[in-house]
Chain A
Amino acid sequence: QVQLVQSGAEVKRPGASVKVSCKASGYTFRNHYIHWVRQAPGQGLEWMGWFNPYNGGTNYAQRSQGRVTMTGDTSISTAHMEMSRLRYDDTAIYYCARAFWVSGSYYLDYWGQGTLVTVSS
Protein backbone atom coordinates (compact mmCIF):
# COMPACT_ATOMS: atom_id res chain seq x y z
CA GLN A 1 0.00 0.00 0.00
CA VAL A 2 1.13 3.54 -0.69
CA GLN A 3 2.66 5.27 2.30
CA LEU A 4 4.43 8.56 2.86
CA VAL A 5 6.26 8.73 6.17
CA GLN A 6 7.69 12.06 7.26
CA SER A 7 10.50 12.95 9.63
CA GLY A 8 9.85 14.05 13.18
CA ALA A 9 8.97 17.39 14.73
CA GLU A 10 11.56 20.16 14.75
CA VAL A 11 12.13 23.23 16.91
CA LYS A 12 14.28 25.91 15.33
CA ARG A 13 15.48 29.41 16.14
CA PRO A 14 14.52 32.32 13.88
CA GLY A 15 17.00 32.58 11.02
CA ALA A 16 17.89 28.88 11.10
CA SER A 17 17.14 26.26 8.45
CA VAL A 18 15.06 23.09 8.60
CA LYS A 19 14.93 20.04 6.36
CA VAL A 20 11.87 17.81 6.35
CA SER A 21 11.96 14.35 4.78
CA CYS A 22 9.23 12.28 3.21
CA LYS A 23 9.90 8.59 2.55
CA ALA A 24 7.65 6.94 -0.01
CA SER A 25 6.79 3.27 -0.28
CA GLY A 26 4.30 1.06 -2.09
CA TYR A 27 4.72 2.62 -5.54
CA THR A 28 7.40 3.67 -8.03
CA PHE A 29 8.77 6.88 -6.54
CA ARG A 30 9.99 8.32 -9.84
CA ASN A 31 6.53 8.18 -11.42
CA HIS A 32 4.71 10.71 -9.23
CA TYR A 33 5.38 14.32 -8.30
CA ILE A 34 5.66 15.12 -4.60
CA HIS A 35 3.89 18.27 -3.43
CA TRP A 36 4.48 20.13 -0.18
CA VAL A 37 1.60 21.82 1.65
CA ARG A 38 1.75 23.60 4.97
CA GLN A 39 -0.81 24.47 7.61
CA ALA A 40 -0.24 27.14 10.23
CA PRO A 41 -1.90 26.56 13.61
CA GLY A 42 -5.68 26.80 13.26
CA GLN A 43 -5.39 27.85 9.62
CA GLY A 44 -6.07 26.40 6.18
CA LEU A 45 -3.88 24.64 3.65
CA GLU A 46 -1.17 26.50 1.73
CA TRP A 47 0.52 24.97 -1.31
CA MET A 48 4.30 25.42 -1.33
CA GLY A 49 5.43 23.69 -4.51
CA TRP A 50 6.22 20.40 -6.17
CA PHE A 51 9.21 18.18 -6.83
CA ASN A 52 9.50 15.85 -9.81
CA PRO A 53 11.49 12.76 -8.76
CA TYR A 54 11.95 11.67 -12.38
CA ASN A 55 14.17 14.58 -13.40
CA GLY A 56 14.61 16.66 -10.25
CA GLY A 57 12.43 19.48 -11.57
CA THR A 58 10.68 21.84 -9.19
CA ASN A 59 8.01 24.51 -9.14
CA TYR A 60 7.63 26.78 -6.15
CA ALA A 61 4.86 29.03 -4.96
CA GLN A 62 5.91 32.64 -5.15
CA ARG A 63 5.92 32.88 -1.36
CA SER A 64 8.34 29.91 -1.17
CA GLN A 65 10.79 31.14 -3.77
CA GLY A 66 14.20 32.05 -2.46
CA ARG A 67 13.84 30.26 0.87
CA VAL A 68 12.55 26.80 -0.04
CA THR A 69 14.42 24.02 -1.83
CA MET A 70 12.76 20.75 -2.78
CA THR A 71 14.96 17.78 -3.59
CA GLY A 72 14.83 14.03 -3.60
CA ASP A 73 16.89 10.85 -3.57
CA THR A 74 15.41 8.19 -5.83
CA SER A 75 17.75 5.52 -4.41
CA ILE A 76 15.88 5.69 -1.11
CA SER A 77 12.52 6.96 -2.44
CA THR A 78 12.70 10.05 -0.28
CA ALA A 79 11.79 13.66 -0.94
CA HIS A 80 13.07 16.60 1.07
CA MET A 81 11.88 20.13 1.68
CA GLU A 82 14.43 22.56 3.11
CA MET A 83 13.46 26.02 4.29
CA SER A 84 16.04 28.63 5.23
CA ARG A 85 15.94 31.90 7.15
CA LEU A 86 13.06 30.69 9.27
CA ARG A 87 10.61 33.22 10.70
CA TYR A 88 8.10 32.90 13.52
CA ASP A 89 5.25 32.71 10.99
CA ASP A 90 6.80 29.59 9.42
CA THR A 91 5.55 27.68 12.45
CA ALA A 92 3.26 25.11 10.87
CA ILE A 93 2.64 21.48 10.06
CA TYR A 94 4.34 20.60 6.79
CA TYR A 95 2.81 17.84 4.68
CA CYS A 96 4.14 16.00 1.68
CA ALA A 97 1.58 14.55 -0.74
CA ARG A 98 1.78 12.33 -3.81
CA ALA A 99 0.26 13.70 -7.00
CA PHE A 100 -1.74 11.50 -9.33
CA TRP A 101 -2.25 12.60 -12.92
CA VAL A 102 -4.27 10.75 -15.52
CA SER A 103 -6.34 11.89 -18.50
CA GLY A 104 -6.36 15.49 -17.35
CA SER A 105 -7.31 14.73 -13.76
CA TYR A 106 -4.82 15.83 -11.12
CA TYR A 107 -5.08 15.34 -7.40
CA LEU A 108 -3.11 14.71 -4.21
CA ASP A 109 -4.15 11.18 -3.36
CA TYR A 110 -1.80 10.19 -0.52
CA TRP A 111 -0.46 12.42 2.22
CA GLY A 112 2.26 12.08 4.81
CA GLN A 113 1.36 12.32 8.47
CA GLY A 114 2.76 15.85 8.72
CA THR A 115 5.82 17.34 10.41
CA LEU A 116 5.40 20.10 12.97
CA VAL A 117 8.04 22.79 12.62
CA THR A 118 8.10 25.27 15.48
CA VAL A 119 10.10 28.47 15.19
CA SER A 120 10.86 29.82 18.62
CA SER A 121 13.59 31.78 20.33
Chain B
Amino acid sequence: DIQMTQSPSSLSASVGDRVTITCQASQDIKKNLNWYQQKPGKAPKFLIYDASNLETGVPSRFSGSGSGTDFTFTISSLQAEDIATYYCQQYDDLPLTFGGGTKVEMK
Protein backbone atom coordinates (compact mmCIF):
# COMPACT_ATOMS: atom_id res chain seq x y z
CA ASP B 1 0.00 0.00 0.00
CA ILE B 2 1.11 3.59 -0.65
CA GLN B 3 1.58 5.47 2.60
CA MET B 4 0.75 9.16 2.77
CA THR B 5 2.46 11.22 5.46
CA GLN B 6 1.14 14.68 6.24
CA SER B 7 2.81 17.35 8.31
CA PRO B 8 2.26 19.03 10.57
CA SER B 9 -0.53 17.09 12.27
CA SER B 10 -1.87 20.38 13.59
CA LEU B 11 -1.11 24.07 13.36
CA SER B 12 -2.36 27.32 14.79
CA ALA B 13 -2.54 30.48 12.70
CA SER B 14 -4.17 33.89 12.61
CA VAL B 15 -6.60 35.35 10.12
CA GLY B 16 -4.64 36.49 7.08
CA ASP B 17 -1.71 34.14 7.65
CA ARG B 18 -0.29 31.93 4.95
CA VAL B 19 -0.74 28.27 5.85
CA THR B 20 1.26 25.45 4.27
CA ILE B 21 0.72 21.71 4.67
CA THR B 22 2.95 19.04 3.19
CA CYS B 23 2.07 15.54 2.08
CA GLN B 24 4.66 12.91 1.23
CA ALA B 25 3.96 9.66 -0.60
CA SER B 26 5.93 6.48 0.06
CA GLN B 27 6.46 6.04 -3.68
CA ASP B 28 6.13 8.03 -6.89
CA ILE B 29 2.44 8.85 -7.46
CA LYS B 30 3.02 11.33 -10.29
CA LYS B 31 0.31 13.97 -9.80
CA ASN B 32 -2.38 11.53 -8.69
CA LEU B 33 -3.22 13.38 -5.50
CA ASN B 34 -6.36 15.06 -4.18
CA TRP B 35 -7.05 17.30 -1.20
CA TYR B 36 -10.14 17.41 1.02
CA GLN B 37 -11.37 19.68 3.79
CA GLN B 38 -13.35 18.35 6.73
CA LYS B 39 -15.05 20.70 9.16
CA PRO B 40 -16.02 19.39 12.61
CA GLY B 41 -19.05 17.15 12.48
CA LYS B 42 -19.25 17.30 8.69
CA ALA B 43 -18.39 15.06 5.77
CA PRO B 44 -15.19 15.74 3.83
CA LYS B 45 -15.40 18.25 1.01
CA PHE B 46 -13.40 17.85 -2.17
CA LEU B 47 -11.08 20.80 -2.91
CA ILE B 48 -8.21 19.99 -5.29
CA TYR B 49 -7.52 17.25 -7.84
CA ASP B 50 -4.39 16.18 -9.68
CA ALA B 51 -2.26 17.95 -7.08
CA SER B 52 -2.97 21.48 -8.26
CA ASN B 53 -6.39 21.84 -9.92
CA LEU B 54 -9.09 23.61 -7.95
CA GLU B 55 -12.56 22.14 -7.97
CA THR B 56 -15.16 24.55 -9.33
CA GLY B 57 -16.33 26.96 -6.65
CA VAL B 58 -13.34 26.53 -4.35
CA PRO B 59 -11.88 29.90 -3.34
CA SER B 60 -8.66 30.86 -5.07
CA ARG B 61 -6.86 31.31 -1.74
CA PHE B 62 -6.52 27.52 -1.76
CA SER B 63 -3.80 26.00 -3.92
CA GLY B 64 -1.78 22.85 -4.34
CA SER B 65 1.48 21.88 -5.96
CA GLY B 66 3.92 19.03 -6.32
CA SER B 67 4.47 15.78 -8.12
CA GLY B 68 6.18 12.47 -7.54
CA THR B 69 6.42 12.03 -3.79
CA ASP B 70 6.23 15.57 -2.39
CA PHE B 71 3.16 17.76 -2.37
CA THR B 72 2.11 21.04 -0.79
CA PHE B 73 -1.27 22.53 0.07
CA THR B 74 -1.46 26.26 0.75
CA ILE B 75 -4.03 28.68 2.06
CA SER B 76 -2.70 32.07 0.99
CA SER B 77 -4.68 34.11 3.52
CA LEU B 78 -6.39 32.13 6.26
CA GLN B 79 -10.05 32.95 6.89
CA ALA B 80 -12.13 32.00 9.91
CA GLU B 81 -14.22 29.61 7.80
CA ASP B 82 -11.09 27.66 6.84
CA ILE B 83 -10.81 26.13 10.31
CA ALA B 84 -10.92 22.43 9.52
CA THR B 85 -8.85 19.29 9.08
CA TYR B 86 -7.26 18.83 5.67
CA TYR B 87 -6.46 15.47 4.10
CA CYS B 88 -4.41 14.46 1.09
CA GLN B 89 -5.40 11.29 -0.78
CA GLN B 90 -3.59 9.35 -3.50
CA TYR B 91 -5.32 7.53 -6.32
CA ASP B 92 -2.26 6.23 -8.15
CA ASP B 93 -2.99 2.73 -6.94
CA LEU B 94 -5.52 0.80 -4.89
CA PRO B 95 -6.14 0.86 -2.05
CA LEU B 96 -6.87 4.55 -2.03
CA THR B 97 -5.01 5.99 0.94
CA PHE B 98 -5.32 9.21 2.88
CA GLY B 99 -2.81 11.21 4.84
CA GLY B 100 -3.33 11.38 8.57
CA GLY B 101 -4.80 14.86 8.37
CA THR B 102 -3.71 18.35 9.40
CA LYS B 103 -5.92 20.19 11.86
CA VAL B 104 -5.87 23.95 11.26
CA GLU B 105 -6.88 26.01 14.29
CA MET B 106 -7.20 29.73 14.87
CA LYS B 107 -4.58 31.38 17.04
Q: Which A residues are closer than 8 A to B by beta carbons?
A: 35, 37, 44-47, 59, 61-62, 95, 97, 105-114
B-side interface size class: 20 to 34
CA distance A35 to B46 in the complex (A): 14
Q: Which B residues are closer than 8 A to A by beta carbons?
A: 32, 34, 36, 38, 43-46, 49-50, 53, 55, 87, 89, 91, 94-101
Chain B residues with CB under 8 A of A105: 49-50, 53
CA distance A61 to B98 in the complex (A): 13
CA distance A7 to B39 in the complex (A): 21
Contact in complex: B49, A111 (CB < 8 Å): no
Contact in complex: A111, B44 (CB < 8 Å): yes
CB proximity of A23 to chain B, nearest CB, Å: 15
